[in-house]
Homo-oligomer: A and B are copies of this chain.
C-alpha cells in the first residue's frame, strides 16, 4: 500500500466525481489529532468549474504544465487555534496525517494524488480570504491516471516513484545523533 502510493503527474483530465471526493475526504476525516482537534481544512475545486481556474492560477508554472489535466485541486490548510482560541501547536503535523489518509484513499480508488509546495501561498491567502489564524500548507492535484506520453519529455522521464533514504538515517535509540542532517 505504501509503496504503491507515489506522486505521478500523468492525469487524463477527467473531473473527479462527488463520490470520489467524498471518499478521499472521509478518509482524511478519521485521522488522529491532538485532543481530537481535527484542525485540517480543505478548499477544493473540480476540473471544469470556475473554482478550478482559481486554484490553478495559484500554481507555479512548472506545475501548471501537468495540473491542467488534474481532476480536482485541493488546497490543504490547518487552523492553528481551536474554537475557544487555544493554540494548536501540532496543527500542521496533524493535518499531515489527514493528508496521508487522503492520498492513500485516492490510491485505493485507482486515483493519483500529488502534493505540491510549488504554488503562491501568500496569494492563496489573499484571494481565498484565509484568516491569519489558519496555515496554508500544501496544494494537492487529484486525478485519474493518464498517459505519461502526453507529458513533456522532461517530466515523462521523472514519471516513476522516487527513492528514500535508508531507515537507519532517520531512526535512533538514545539522544539525537550528531550525524543526522539538520
- Residues of chain A touching chain B, judged by Cβ–Cβ distance below 8 Å, are 1-3, 5-7, 21-22, 25-27, 29-32, 34-36, 38, 40-45, 49, 51, 54, 76-79, 81-83, 89-90, 92-101, 103-105, 115, 117, 127-131, 133-134, 137-138, 162, 164-165, 167, 170-176, 180-182
Contact = CB atoms under 8 A, between A and B. Distances in A.
A180 B41 contact: yes
Contacts of A131: 176, 182
Contact of A167 (B22, B31, B78): B22
How many copies the complex holds: the figure is 2
Contacts of A104: 1, 104
Contacts of A29: 164-165, 167, 170
B30 A175 contact: no
Nearest to A30: B2
Contacts of A95: 93, 96
Contacts of A7: 32
Contacts of A101: 2, 100
A100 B165 CA distance: 18
- Residue of A49, A77, A79, A176 with most partner-chain B CB within 10 A: A176
A180 B36 contact: no
Given A51-B174, A174-B43, A176-B43, A164 B90 contact: no
A129 B78 CA distance: 29
A20 to B, nearest CB: 13
Contacts of A103: 32, 97
